[in-house]
Amino acid sequence: MIIRKSREEIAKMREAGRIVAGVLDMLEGHIRPGVKTETLNELAEEYIRERNGIPSFLGYRGFPASICTSINEVVVHGIPDRTRLREGDIIGVDVGVVLEGYQGDAARTYAVGEVSESARRLMDATAESLRAGIEACRPGKRLGDISNAIQRTVENEGFSVVVQFVGHGIGKEMHEEPQIPNFGPAGRGSLLEEGMTFALEPMVNEGTYEVEVDEGDGWTVRTADGRLSAHFEHTVAITAEGPYVLTLP
């Protein structure tokens, strides 16, 4: 069942989302060659707790950090550690915050210094596909319209969408129904209604769509061919006036 939220609940999710966006903006100023991903994690956790939020990823199914940091061929769920960023890397940062019982979830992929033309195109296409998905978040549309808008945008740019991981409903829980694939036919699936709140999160690969989960840590997801992957995410509410992005600054 898709849980619809009241205006008051959406307002609470907006406050959680504002903190998420604040973390992502703040980290942008720290992402440069030489910085350790564990430093980004510490900065994020401090920022969240100073605002009375709780980092929702920390301890989630045993995840050991407050944010995910996913460099280059890492698709999602990279664990912050002593790895230092290098010039030319791309890094996806995923942040989840719970505030007064309501969740916000968003991700961005950043360039570290100067990146390749291909890396830039990959990031731009991923961000553009998220915008296209958000645009479909309107009452009367269907879930498949979101999925299809994302897939078409990505494939028009010659990249591939990850199918093994998907977007999700969000509210009091970080992961609620429905699952929101980043691929599939338009006009199918649940009818979108006012009050639904979704985390849309295209994960886009430069090469093959296939991914592998690290057997050692059980978390880190990498592209099967070792080529780059990008990830952008927003939490969005469906309102009578159209999509309301809850994870903007």
Residues that bind Mg ion (CB under 5 A): 105, 199, 201
The token duo for 78 is 């990279």
- Rounded to a whole number of angstroms, the minimum distance from the CB of residue 233 to Mg ion is 5
Q: Which residue number, 54 or 199, has a Cβ lying nearer to Mg ion? A: 199
Taking the least distance from each CB to Mg ion, the nearer of 105 and 176 is: 105
Six-digit token pair at 79? 């664990």
Q: Which is nearer to Mg ion, 35 or 76 (CB)?
A: 76
What token pair was written down for 99? 């505030």
Q: From CA 136, how far away is CA 119, in angstroms rounded?
A: 26
Give the position of tokens 């979101």: 146
Residue 80, C-beta contacts closer than 8 angstroms, at least 6 positions apart: 36, 37, 38, 40, 41, 65, 67, 68, 69
Q: Note the helical H segments in the chain.
A: 7-28, 37-50, 117-135, 143-156
Which lies closer to Mg ion via its Cβ, residue 35 or residue 68?
Answer: 68
Pick 12 or 35: Cβ nearer Mg ion: 12
Residue 137: phi and psi, rounded to 5, are: -80, 75
Instruction: Give the nearer residue to Mg ion in terms of CB position, either 159 or 232.
Output: 232
For residue 89, the minimal CB distance to Mg ion (Å) is 22
Rounded to 5 degrees, φ, ψ at 104 are: -135, 145
For every residue of 119-162, DSSP letters joined together read HHHHHHHHHHHHHHHHHT-STT-BHHHHHHHHHHHHHHTT-EE-
Q: How far apart are CA 230 and CA 44, in angstroms?
A: 20
Q: For the CB of residue 167, give the shortest distance to Mg ion in the complex, in Å.
A: 7
Shortest separation between residue 248's beta carbon and Mg ion, angstroms? 16
**Shortest approach of Mg ion to residue 70 CB, angstroms?**
13
CB of 155 to Mg ion, least distance (A): 22
